[in-house]
Structures are given as structure tokens and as C-alpha cells.
Structure 1
Amino acid sequence: MQFPESWLRSFCNPDLTTQQLADLLTMAGLEVEELQPVAPPFTGVVVAQVLEVAKHPDADRLNVCKVDAGTGSVLQIVCGAPNVRPGIKVPCATVGAELPPGADGKPFKIKLGKLRGVESQGMLCSARELGVSEESNGLHILAEDAPLGQNIREHLKLDDTLFTLKLTPNLAHCLSVYGIAREVAALTGSPLIDPEIAPVKPEIDARLKVTVEAADLCGRFGGRVIQGVNPQAKTPDWMVERLARCGQRSVSALVDISNYVMFELGQPSHVFDLDKIKGELVVRWGKVGEELKLLNGNTVKLDEQVGVIADGSGQVESLAGIMGGDATAVGDDTRNVYLEAAFWWPKAIAGRARRYNFSTDASHRYERGVDPAPTAQYIERVTRLIIDICGGKAGPLDDQTLQRPERKPVTLRLSRAQRVIGMPVTLTQVEQVFMRLDLPFTAQAKGSDTHLVVVPPSWRFDLQIEEDLIEEVVRVIGFDKLPKRAPKAPVVPHVRPEARRSLYAVRRSVAARGYQEAITFSFVEEKWEADFAGNTQPIRVLNPIASPLAVMRSSLIGSLVEVLKTNLARKADRVRIFEVGRVFKRDAAVQDGDQTVAGFDQPVRVSGLAYGPADTLQWGQAVRNVDFFDVKGDVEALLAPRQAQFIKVEHPAFHPGRCAQVVVEGKAVGFVGELHPKWRQAYDLPLAPVLFELDADVLTQRAVPAFTSVPKMQSVYRDLALVVTDSTAHDALIGAITKAPSEGLVRGARLFDIYKPKAPVAGMADNERSLAVRVELRDDEQTLTDERIDVAMKAVLASLASEVGARVRA
């Protein structure tokens, strides 16, 4: 929100300097982002009138002008501006004047000199040369009644300051100069000057029928017919100046008046060309298939979620609360207009402009809330300005009130306010704050406490809960009045159980395996969910920040693949990344009061991706790409000392034959596998990355170390060469050995060799292979004898034969 200080002080003029006023607004929550002078410093520039213009004898593009600068003598000035002509009044820099710095950063001083042999006694200035505007189409022509010789800074009010406020969405009532002045009056106690808005007496009986079909779109609609206007009338200089200092370019008188009142009072309005409206106006929701060409030239497609104003033929003429249509726009041939101002429900406007990739001043205000109470007065204000500037005759005011926003009372407990603010606040102070803010209230004694019940006024959409009122109290009293005390809070250390570790420790463990952490959005492309999670019904975001980020992720795999693509695009050949984050899944319905709503599960997952060479380039070993077993080893290390089982499964993201489900203590905790070939091809990956995704809970839990004495007896090892089918799993083989009834002598087994003959071998079928396993046996109390070892090994062989069909290789 940008505005000139002089306009603000015309409504409320506190005895404060510009900087003090800016500091006051900032400390009250209306952050002043920038203070900027209207024009840079310069001296010696006055109002002058061009008396004569003659061609320069030696330059085609120069003119020799006779100028009256109010000094008592006529000055001769050489000027090259294309719009110089006799009779106009322009800024004139006299000899000795200093103009704003140029490109070299040094002030430009006007001296008596000659241009192509003709003496020049000054300089006629453009707005750009004065630093008033960035554009320059020639001399800055002044009003005809500008007094000769008057300092141009005084005449154009160039000593004004532009305020730029950075307003939060809850401050909709401050999106106008009058609204900010109302805040200044409450903060300083200075009188507030209300604008004089006298009703315009109707001179004609012309009306336009308006039917409001959607009360949930429009709560109040007002308008009137004005006939005989002159759309080519010149916008007054004072209005053009104020609009320019609010950052608004002058368009035409009718448009400028509408914009001016919006910046002045906060009420957007729209002017229709009445003769282009067919029949009547209908306020309703849009329909699928309808289109509208807007004032900005864009053609948008409509649906039931967008409010519109249509004519009697059904043709849409305006996007409600956002922008008018091109078909009924006012132009140079407009003679009769229909002026409209309405209260559009904020929820009906919010987000609609962003759907079409633009924003307007009107939608910015309506989606935050515009005061519905003085809609009729706003129309009267616009009507008076149109008649005074463009002429015409006004018809009677049509004001339809369907439903106003309900202002529910909000209760402030004095004891609660004191506790939240952090200093003793008296009842008198709170009452004074509410009176200064024009908040009607009643005080009620409740035991030892006092409750103040406030009914928010029509312009305060932000006052809904007790904390909102507490904020009003403290910001009016002054944040600088809060005591500077260090917070006192008991520091109680929370001892984490030894069987758990933090997610930060998990992150360090993954990083120690050579992975780098990535942080991505929780909302992702819908395509990722279908591809990598097989989720065709993802949780959708109601108001996504971008159309591709429209659903919540149920897996981290898609995010990691996207990070991989980004790294590959930057010529990275070896990538190790991981992420710790929440995923979002639909859960069973839960009861919320009297309603049953969908429940959501938000577990934390740890996911990693490895791509490219298994190790960095070195001389000690040949280059090979990372494979399933490398990442499987990383997962085993992260879960250690607990043993995990890896069970072959199918997953939509992984290669059918290179994917395993990770099971710990009988519970499935995640997956590890190589990316499916079709996704590698679809996402343009030269090599297949290997990924894992685990529940964070299983990684934050760990076994507490328990003391065991060093074995007194040595272990005995026996090697077995076993013939099994190719489909025999490693875990099944080792499980058959460790489960053998060996009186507890078997302490472990490890596979150390695999033999698959290339040609047929006696005693082995084509679908068989030989596995070499080393079995460890030990008795902690006594030395093992050959007899006991033989008995134990026979039990192991029997278990292998019955469990997996293994036999000793001949």
C-alpha cells in the first residue's frame, strides 16, 4: 500500500515528524517498508510561461523561446522539447539552479551559456529532469492557473513523502488512506476528519434492474444510472497527482475517479457503459463453458466456482469483485454509465484471480474484506466526483442488502490480557483502547476478574478470538512500553531413553554412509504418486502454490528422483542423497464433534538414493556402478545391531526382481530396491538408481547393550558345500541352519561362496547351484568333542534337507 503523506494528513494530522509517524505505524503493526521523497532535492526552479517560440537559426531541432519566469524581465532560453509552444506554463530552471544528479551522480548546475551561438538564460524542464517521473515526453506542462515565479517544489508539493506499507492479510481495514488515518487517530488521539459525502439528488428516474441470485456471493449490491457524461473530460491535476503517488497511472476520468475513491476509502467500484448492457444485470455464479474477455485483453474460462455479473441475455459482463469485461467497458463514445459497488464475500473472491494468473487492486481488497456498511455512501462519493468532473445527471440509488457479515461478540478477560501481554494492564487502559479504536464493548464482573465483550464493527474482519483483542490492546498502548525482562522458565532436561535416539542422530548415521541430505516440498506432482507409490487417490491440496504441486506425498521416492535429475543436469556422475520427512496417507475416519471427517496418517520416513559409481574414482579397484547389495548393506548398517530380513516383493517403484521388503522383528518397516526400468526410461535416467525407504521409528529405536562375558571356549568351524535350487533364498538357508536342534551349539552361519557351473555337472541339475557355508559351533562351558560336533552337524544337515531341500555336494 503506497500513498503520499499529505493525503494521510488531510484526514488526520498528528503533531509528529515524518519519521516519527513512520515509526508509530511500524510499532502498531503497519510496517512502513519504505519512505521515499516525491522528488529529489533541487533548487532554483520556478513556474514560467512561454511567450514566444522561434526556430533556432543554426539547429533544426532547437527553438529559441521567450519566457516570463516572474522575475520582471523576459528570459531567452534555447529549448529542444517537441511540445514547446506559446502560452504554456512549465518549470523553468533559472541561472544558478541546481537540478537532481544525472548519470554521473553529480548535481547539474544551470549556467549562462550559448547553444549553437544563441545565448540561453536558463532551462525549461521535463518531469524526468526534475526527478518527478521516469518517463519524459517533453516539457512538464503545468496548470493554466499556476502562479508565475512560484517555486516549483511548492506548486507541485514536491516536499511530500511517499509511504509504502507492508500490510499483513488481517489488516484489510488499512487498505485505504482513510483507513490508515483512522488507525493514526486511534494511536495518537488526534482528531479524525471524516470525508464530507453529501447524497446526490436524483435528476432523472432512469434505473437498471439488478437481480442477485447468489446471496453467498454478494451480500450487498448498490448502483445507479448516470446519463449524459463526458468520458473525454480531463482528470483534475490534483487527482492525477494523488493517483500517481499511489502508484496508479491515469487512464481516463471515469476510471480515475473509481480508482481514486478505492484508494481514498477502500471501496472498489466499476463503471459499465449502460448502452452496451442488454436488458438487466444478474449477479450469479458462473457456468461451465462460459468465457469472458477481460479489460486486460485476456479471455478466461469460467465455472461454478467463479462469481460473475451477467446481462439479461446471459452474456457475462464482469468477473465479480475482480475485473470488468471488455464488452461493456467505457470508451470515448460512452454517454450513459451504470455505477456499481458491492460487498462480495471474501471466501467467494479469495484465490479466484490467482487461478487466472493475475491480481487486481479490487480482488486484493475483496478477498480480505471490504466494509459493507457504507456501500451507499461510497456510491454517493463516486457519483459526486463523476458529475463534477464529467457532468451528467444521476438517477436514484439502487441499494440491495441481502445478508451482511455476522459479527460475533468476542470476550477479553482482563487477567488473560495481563498474562499474555506480560505487564499489568488496568481496566481503564483497556477501555480507553477500545474507545479509541471505536470498538463497542460492555464490561462484566466475573468474580475477581473482569470480562469485556466486544462486538467488532463492520470494517474489522480480523477480530474473531480473544488474542485478536489482546493484540489491539498492546499495539495501541505501544510495544515499546513492554518491560524488558528476561523470560523466566524452569530448565528441565528431558532424558531420552537409552533405547531411543533422535532423528538428528539418524541423519548423522545416514550421512556417515556417504549420503547428503536433501530437503524437498511435502506437496508433489500427482504423476509421482501414481508412478512411485501406486497411489491413484492422493490427498489433494485445496490451495496449491503451483499447479504441479497439487497433492501431498505418500512416499519420498519421487522427490529424491527429482533431486537426482537436477544433479544429473548439472553434470554430477555420482549421487548419494537422503531425506527425512513426513509422508501423508489416508487413515480411518475420525469423529470431530458431531461430524465424521477423514483421518490422515503422517508418519516420518527416511529415504535414500544411490546412483553412479559405487566408489569415487581411485586406482585400488575397478570402477563399478552401485547395485542392490551396496544399498542393502547400508540399510543393514543403519539397523544394526538388529538383524533385518529381506523378503522378495513387488513394489510399483522398483525393479520386479531387484526389490525386497525390509522386515525387523516380524514387522515390515520399508523397502529397498532398484528403480523400475520403465521409470528409469520415463524420467530420462542413464543408469538405474537404487533406493530405500524406511519408517523413522525403527531407526530411532535401538537395543540397549547388555554385558556378556568373553567366551572361555574356542569356537569350532565346519564348512558345508550344499546343493540347492536357484530359487532358494539366503535367509531361508541360514534360518534352517540356526533353527537346527543342536543343543544350542550352532552360534552362526555365513555364506562365503556360490558356484554355478557353466556346463552340466554330474550330481547337479540345471536349476541348481552349490553354496559354501561356514558354520560356527561353540559351548561356553566345555570344550567340544568330535562326537558332539558330529551330532550337531547331522542335525544341521537334517534341518537343511527338510526346510530347503539341500543336500551335501558329492
Structure 2
Amino acid sequence: MIITEQWLRQWVDTDLNVNEIADVLTLAGLEVDAVEPIGLPHDKVIVGEIVSAAPHPDADRLQVCQVSDGKESFQVVCGAKNARVGIKVPYAMIGAELPDIKIKKAKLRGVESFGMLCSGEELGLHSPVKGLLELPDDSKTGQPLIETLGGADYAIDIDLTPNRGDCLSVLGVARELRVLQGSEIKSLPDDSVEQSSTAKVAVDNREKQSCTAYRARVIEGIDREAVTPLWLAERLRRSGIKPINPVVDVTNYVMLETGQPLHGFDRRQVGDGIVVRNANGGEKLLLLNGDEAELSADTLLIAREDGQPLAIAGVIGGETSGVYDDTDDVVLEAAHFSRAAIAGKARQYGVSTDSSHRYERGVDPLLGQLAIEYATRLMQEICGGKAGPIVEDNAQAPETTKVSLRYNYLCELLGFSIPQPEVHELLRRISPDVVETDSGWTITAPSYRHDMAFEADLVEEVARVFGYDRIPTKLPSLVPSSRIAREGDIDPSAVSRTMIARDYNETISYSFIDPEWDADYGSGETPVNLANPLSENMSVMRTSLLPGLLNSAVLNLNRQVDRIRLFEIGGTYSLVDNETVEIQRLGALCSGPALLESWEGDVRLTDFFDVKSELRAILCLTPFPNSFTFRQLEHKPLADNQVLGIYINGEKVGWLGRIQPVIERKLGFESPVYAFELRLDRLSSQQLVRYHPISKLPAVKRDLALVVDSDVAAGDIEATIKSVCSEELANIELFDVYQGDKVPDGCKSLAYRITLQSVSKTLTEEDIDRVVGELLSQLEKVHNATLR
């Protein structure tokens, strides 16, 4: 939000300069992003008065004017249609620098011109009419234009947090300075405008929970030819709002000054009455920005009595009901809509308005009456017109919020003590209604402070007004404690270093994702839905790291990166028995060439076993990498014939596989995409590595070629071998897989090299034959395996 220093000083009396004001606000939590000077870049643009105007001797559309600076006259050739004797206009003298031109002495059709008479557009200012910018008659001739426009000023750009909607106005910032500095501020006039007309519209508020107050007033017979005064238009411009017409400009001005959004309707479009209601699903409304909105049933509307929608309440008006150049009678609206009714509606309909920005953060419910009277007074001064009575519906005083603060709790939470009399004074600045109690104080929160509801809120307010920079600095008196790391723990940084060493790039993605991406590429677990998402495509928490990795890979692919190797370490979230469960995982994805392009040979694409080797490198960080087994499983985003589950002690802890080819094509990949995901909490082992002496006895190797069904996993065979030969088995190695001649259809041959060794005795042929016999018997029983 942008306000100007001059406008702020009209409301609050302070000795601080603009930079000190910015510092005070920032230290109190209202962060000032920038303080920028406002003014024309050169002092040679002054107020000039046209004292004579004669036709150009050689051009029908030009005039030769004599322009006075109060001391002498200068000849200026001008082509503006409104150039005439007696008006005062901006005069750029020779040497002046305008936004797009430097003024020099010139000849126009043979007539010398000593400067330029300027339009508002040429100066970067608003002008209600085309041609020269006409200045007020009481402007001082020869005075620098910047002084006529209000003098040099500063724009203060404040970045407010969502809970401080009360500061979205000049009045709100002035109140904040009063609280922080004890300064005096002026109040809005509370006298009513004299009623000079009986014209009114009926108001039927059917949604009293969403619209807690609605006021409407007819102002009839406004002057169509009226223009926005220069001072008001300039204040709007300096605050970042483009002037439009007097009625709209007055409503914007009052909103910026007080924080109360207002809206003006053309009475011809309103008819005899206004209805506040929820939309009927599917209704359509042509908005002021030209877009047609299809309204949802939970959208609060301002409508005619016959049902025709006029505006989306608190967000944006309809195009047909707005105030235009031919409007004679205006219906002025000052309403109070609840935050819940307006929240998210501007985003839903693809608009962003100052009105919705304020209603979403909370508007003072007591401000409507004062604001509509203030706006009426300004409108009559500028446009004339007769004011009718204010028609109200549900305009009742809101319930007050009382909050208690215990002194002991305050000191405990702050970590230091503030004298009680000083606390009382700070609270009195925050609210005029402060009552002392035995344990502290009870205050009534001001109607504009929606963020004060709990005792902790008052603690924060006291600390903020006391001054964060005044809080004493000291070391905490806590006794440090830390968990003793176990030898079996795996540090995530070690996982990260291992992946980087294997030529992977780390990526970080959002934890909230598109629900469609979670459904297509997630784990299949129940996702956590966000109550107030940033957008529809970020409305659920991720159940897997794969969606983020795929999204990052697509971004790289679209930037002509063909060799993609990404990994991420982060949390995944799912609902289990209505409780949110967070699990830290490692996810990795790769596609494209396995190695960087080289002169040594042809490029080879990454395959399944390349990715499995990366996974094995991570498993080797654990004390017992061989404890992990691989089994076939089904996982929706992965190809059926290239997917493995990762297990330890019978528990699934991850998966490995190729993305389905149809998904690869859909996302634009031309080469296979492989990925894996692993639970990091299952990498840590409860068992520690134990020392075993190297056997001094000889080892014996046996090769076994086993014929099994094609769907039998090699990992299952290995698990059986380990269980049977647990005491004598020193190593096991799969060195051949064969299908073809002399192997029955539907079967395959798995060739294992088994190393047998004892630590207590030399194995005899009888021992070896016994072990191998038991092994073959168990393999036949469990897997229907036969010796080839």
C-alpha cells in the first residue's frame, strides 16, 4: 500500500521526518519497502498564464500565444484546442526536462517558440480533459508547478501482513503512529450531510451473516460536466490509483483515507431497490473489466429487486451498473461484508481489487456511516447534487471483544519485566477502554483491530509498542541438550553427498501440489487437503516426491537439457486414521544418456540397472546393505514389467522402476525415465556392525544353474539360499540368466555361484554335498526349481 507523507501529516501531528516515520513503522511490524520522492524532475516547469492568443499565420491548427510567468511574457506556439486567454496552464520553459523530451528553442512553421504549454499526459499527470492541463484560477503565476500540485512529497510503500487490515488507509497508519509515538490525530467529521432530497432505494439484506451492515444513499442531479479537482486527482495518482471520473474518484479517495470501500451505482440500473443475496449457481455477470463471470452459489451478490445481478459484493461491480459520463443520479453504497464471505472470491474470478483486498483482511464495522457522509460531502462539493436519506439494513453495532492480560504471563512470555504503570500506558494507547484487574488488565479491542482476540495478542502488542529494539539482549538460561547419535544412524547430508558424487543435481520443490498430479503420480495414499490453498493447483500435500521430480524434469527438458539426473530429500504427507503422517524420503529421477558425450564411443541411454546401482550406493551407506531385498510390485506411475519394491525385514521402504511409457510421451520425454524413492528413516539400523574374524580355512565354490518359472524373482531365490546356508554361506553371486534352447517355455535359467566356508572346520565333500542337497530340496519345495 502506498500513502504520501503530506497526506499522512494532515492526519497525525509528528516531529519525525519521513525516514524516521519509515523506521518507526518498520520496527513495529509495518515494513516499509521504499520511500520515494515525488515531484517533477525540473524546476523550469511553472504555472503560466496565457495573456494573448492569435492564429498562426501559416497553420490553421496552431495558435501563437503570449505566456506570462508573472514578470515577463514569452511567445509559445501551441496546437491545443483549449488554449485561450486567461487560463493558467503548465509552462515548460527552455531547458526543462519532461519525461520524453527536453525543451529547446524552436521554430514552428516559421514562428519562434520559447518553450511548451503542456498537457497532463506530457507531464505524466492525470487530466480530465484532452489538451492543456488547466490549473485552478487561484494558482500563482510563475510558481513552480510542483508547488501548485501540493509541493514536494514522498511516497511511503508499506508491506502489510494480512492481520493488519486496519492499516490499509491513511487513517489507519496515522492511528498506528499515534499508538507508537503518543502523537495526536484528527478524527473524521461525524456531522450528517443535510438531506435535500427524498429520493431513496429500498434495501433487502437477505444474508445478514455475510453482510453485517448495508447502507445506501441516492444523490440525484449531479453535474455531468464536473471534473475531479486537481488536488484530489493528484493525491490518487501519488497513491498509485488512476483517476477516472468524479464519483469513482471520490469513492477511491475516501477508501484510501479511511479504509472503508465504497461503490457508486447508476440509479437507472438499480431501479427501486437493492437485494443482498447469494448467487444462484450458473448466473452470469459482465464485470467492469469486461470479463463475463459465471457465478458460484457461494458468491455474495448485490442485485436488483427483479433479480438482475449488479455487482459481486465487496469485489467488483458490473459493467452495466457503473457510473459513466451520462449518469445523473448515483446510488452510493457503504457496506460491511464479513471476511469469510469475501475471502478468495477475487482470486476465484481472476480479478484483484482494492475493495476485496480490504474486506478479506477486515474492515472497521463502525466506519460505514462516517464514510458515506464524508463521501457525500465531497461529492456535493465537486459534482453538486441533492442527497437523499441513508437507507440501512442490519446496521447494528458489532459485539465488542474483551481480552484479559495477566502481568505475570506478560513477563514470562517476554522474558523480561516492564513496569506495570508503563504497561498500563501502552495498553491505553492501544485501546481507550482499559480496566485494571487483580492480575493485570482487561481491555476492549477497538472495532478496527480484528487481530486482537487472545491474551498472546496483547503480549505481542505490548512488545511491539514498547519497541522490539528496546528488548534487552541476553543469553538464554536453558541447559543445552542433544540426542546422542547412534552408530547405525544415516545422516541425510551423507545421502545428499553420495547422490551429488554420482552426478545428480539436488532440487527442492513445493510440498503442496496439484491434486491431479498427486492422483496420477503420487503414492496412492490419502493426501492431506489444504484448508486455504494458495491456488487450486497447489491444494494438497504431496504423498510422494515423484510429482515434484517429474515437474522439475519437464522444466529442464523444455530448456533443451537432454541428460537429466535429479534428486530431492524432503517430507511427504498422508492421512492415516485421520492423522497427518510426515515421512522423510529420498527421491531420484534420471533420463537421457547414461554418461556425458565422449569421443570414446556411442552414447548409451540410462537403463534400469544404472538406476539400481545408484540405489545400491545409497543402501551401502547402511551397516547391512544386503539386508534389503527387491520384489516385484505394482505402482501406478511405473511400467508393470520394470518396477521393484524395496523391502527390509518384510517392510516395504521404497520402490524402483521406469515411468510408464504413456506418461513419458505425455510429458514430452523421448528417452526412458527411471526413478526411485526410499524412506530415509528406515536406512538407520538398530543393529551395529560386529567384527567377524576372516576364516583361515579354505572356501569352496559351487555353480548351480536352476530352472524356474519366468515369474520367479531372483531375489526370492537368493533369500531361500541365505536361509538354508546361513552358517556356511560366505557369498552368493548371480552370474547368468538364460532363456532359450533346452529351457522349457515359460521358464528361465538362473546361474548362481555359491561360496561356502566355515570358521570352525574345513568343509569335506560330505559336508558340501549335504548343504547343496538340502538347498536343492528347499528350492524345489519353495520355488519348484530344478537343477539344469
**TM-score, scaled to structure 2:** 0.92
For the Cα contact (< 8 Å) 1:13–1:190, is it kept in 2?
yes
Q: Which residue of 2 aligns with 1:797?
A: 776
In structure 2, give the amino acid aligned to 1:292: L
C-alpha separation in 1, matches of 2:764 and 2:112: 126
C-alpha separation in 1, matches of 2:215 and 2:99: 51
In structure 1, give the amino acid aligned to 2:737: I
Secondary structure of the 1:602 match is: strand
1:398 aligned onto 2:377:
no
C-alpha separation in 1, matches of 2:90 and 2:666: 67
1:575 aligned onto 2:553:
no
1:612 aligned onto 2:609:
no
CA 483–61 in structure 1, closer or farther in 2 if over 3 Å, else same: farther
Secondary structure of the 1:164 match is: strand
Q: Which residue of 1 aligns with 2:22?
A: 22
Secondary structure of the 1:386 match is: helix
Q: Which residue of 2 aligns with 1:172?
A: 165
1:715 to 699, 704, 728: 699
1:765 aligned onto 2:744:
yes
Q: Which residue of 2 aligns with 1:691?
A: 675
- Structure 1 position 355, deviation (Å): 0.9
Q: Which residue of 1 aligns with 2:605?
A: 625
1:309 to 294, 302, 310: 302
Percentage of pairs with the same residue = 37
Secondary structure of the 2:218 match is: strand
Greater displacement, 418-427 / 496-505: 418-427
For the Cα contact (< 8 Å) 1:434–1:441, is it kept in 2?
yes
- Structure 1 position 558, deviation (Å): 2.5
For the Cα contact (< 8 Å) 2:526–2:576, is it kept in 1?
no
1:270 to 230, 249, 263: 263
2:633 to 649, 666, 671: 649
CA 647–135 in structure 1, closer or farther in 2 if over 3 Å, else same: farther
1:600 to 580, 593, 606: 580
- Structure 1 position 365, deviation (Å): 0.9
C-alpha separation in 1, matches of 2:747 and 2:25: 84
- Structure 1 position 517, deviation (Å): 1.7
C-alpha separation in 2, matches of 1:744 and 1:485: 62
- Structure 1 position 299, deviation (Å): 1.3
1:511 to 500, 506, 521: 500
In structure 2, give the amino acid aligned to 1:49: E
Q: Which residue of 1 aligns with 2:75?
A: 76
Q: Which residue of 1 aligns with 2:135?
A: 142
Q: Which residue of 2 aligns with 1:592?
A: none
1:320-331 maps to which residues of 2 (within 5 A)? 320-331=313-324
Secondary structure of the 2:89 match is: strand
In structure 1, give the amino acid aligned to 2:612: K
For the Cα contact (< 8 Å) 1:232–1:253, is it kept in 2?
no
1:787 aligned onto 2:780:
no
1:515-594 maps to which residues of 2 (within 5 A)? 515-533=504-522, 535=524, 538-589=527-578
CA 340–581 in structure 1, closer or farther in 2 if over 3 Å, else same: same
In structure 2, give the amino acid aligned to 1:34: A
For the Cα contact (< 8 Å) 2:213–2:396, is it kept in 1?
yes
1:807 aligned onto 2:786:
yes
1:87 aligned onto 2:67:
no
C-alpha separation in 1, matches of 2:113 and 2:219: 52
Note the alpha carbon deviations across 1:642-688, whole angstroms, 9 max, x for none: 32221222221122122222111111112212222332233332222
Secondary structure of the 1:548 match is: helix
Name the Cα RMSD after superposition.
3.0
- Structure 1 position 313, deviation (Å): 0.9
C-alpha separation in 1, matches of 2:128 and 2:567: 53
Q: Which residue of 2 aligns with 1:595?
A: none
2:428 to 421, 431, 435: 435
Q: Which residue of 1 aligns with 2:449?
A: 460
1:183-332 maps to which residues of 2 (within 5 A)? 183-332=176-325
CA 64–587 in structure 1, closer or farther in 2 if over 3 Å, else same: same
C-alpha separation in 1, matches of 2:123 and 2:613: 73
Note the alpha carbon deviations across 1:534-562, whole angstroms, 9 max, x for none: 74975443443343333332222222222
Q: Which residue of 2 aligns with 1:594?
A: none
For the Cα contact (< 8 Å) 1:501–1:702, is it kept in 2?
no
C-alpha separation in 2, matches of 1:239 and 1:494: 65
Q: Which residue of 1 aligns with 2:466?
A: 477
CA 322–133 in structure 1, closer or farther in 2 if over 3 Å, else same: closer
Note the alpha carbon deviations across 1:225-283, whole angstroms, 9 max, x for none: 22322243222232222222222222222212211211121111112222322442111
CA 110–472 in structure 1, closer or farther in 2 if over 3 Å, else same: farther
Q: Which residue of 2 aligns with 1:426?
A: 419
C-alpha separation in 2, matches of 1:214 and 1:64: 63
Secondary structure of the 2:247 match is: helix
Greater displacement, 536-545 / 525-534: 536-545
1:658-697 maps to which residues of 2 (within 5 A)? 658-697=642-681
For the Cα contact (< 8 Å) 1:752–1:773, is it kept in 2?
yes
- Structure 1 position 422, deviation (Å): 4.7
Secondary structure of the 1:3 match is: strand
1:412 to 405, 410, 432: 405
Secondary structure of the 1:194 match is: coil
For the Cα contact (< 8 Å) 2:523–2:543, is it kept in 1?
no
CA 296–735 in structure 1, closer or farther in 2 if over 3 Å, else same: closer
Structure 2: unaligned runs, 5 residues or longer: none
Q: Which residue of 2 aligns with 1:753?
A: 736
Note the alpha carbon deviations across 1:726-747, whole angstroms, 9 max, x for none: 343313333343333x693343
CA 329–587 in structure 1, closer or farther in 2 if over 3 Å, else same: same
C-alpha separation in 1, matches of 2:568 and 2:149: 60
CA 250–699 in structure 1, closer or farther in 2 if over 3 Å, else same: same
CA 161–789 in structure 1, closer or farther in 2 if over 3 Å, else same: closer
1:374-389 maps to which residues of 2 (within 5 A)? 374-389=367-382
- Structure 1 position 496, deviation (Å): 1.6
CA 429–749 in structure 1, closer or farther in 2 if over 3 Å, else same: same
Note the alpha carbon deviations across 1:748-783, whole angstroms, 9 max, x for none: 43222234344xx4xx53444443322222221222
Secondary structure of the 2:517 match is: helix
In structure 2, give the amino acid aligned to 1:90: V
Greater displacement, 504-513 / 399-408: 399-408
C-alpha separation in 1, matches of 2:257 and 2:171: 6
Residues matched between the structures, number: 784
Q: Which residue of 2 aligns with 1:596?
A: none
- Structure 1 position 788, deviation (Å): 2.5
Secondary structure of the 2:537 match is: coil
In structure 2, give the amino acid aligned to 1:347: A
- Structure 1 position 362, deviation (Å): 0.9
- Structure 1 position 468, deviation (Å): 2.5
C-alpha separation in 1, matches of 2:569 and 2:203: 57
For the Cα contact (< 8 Å) 2:33–2:157, is it kept in 1?
yes
1:634 to 607, 614, 617: 614
Note the alpha carbon deviations across 1:313-369, whole angstroms, 9 max, x for none: 111111111122222222333333222111100111111011111111111111111
C-alpha separation in 1, matches of 2:718 and 2:273: 85
**TM-score, scaled to structure 1:** 0.89
C-alpha separation in 2, matches of 1:182 and 1:471: 17
CA 473–781 in structure 1, closer or farther in 2 if over 3 Å, else same: same
Greater displacement, 527-536 / 452-461: 527-536
CA 153–524 in structure 1, closer or farther in 2 if over 3 Å, else same: closer
2:335 to 336, 342, 361: 342
- Structure 1 position 123, deviation (Å): 5.0
For the Cα contact (< 8 Å) 2:705–2:752, is it kept in 1?
yes
C-alpha separation in 2, matches of 1:660 and 1:233: 77
Greater displacement, 543-552 / 116-125: 116-125
CA 661–537 in structure 1, closer or farther in 2 if over 3 Å, else same: closer
- Structure 1 position 465, deviation (Å): 2.5
Note the alpha carbon deviations across 1:469-524, whole angstroms, 9 max, x for none: 22322332333333354566544443222222232223223334433222112222
In structure 2, give the amino acid aligned to 1:747: A
In structure 1, give the amino acid aligned to 2:283: E
C-alpha separation in 2, matches of 1:355 and 1:234: 35
C-alpha separation in 2, matches of 1:137 and 1:225: 30
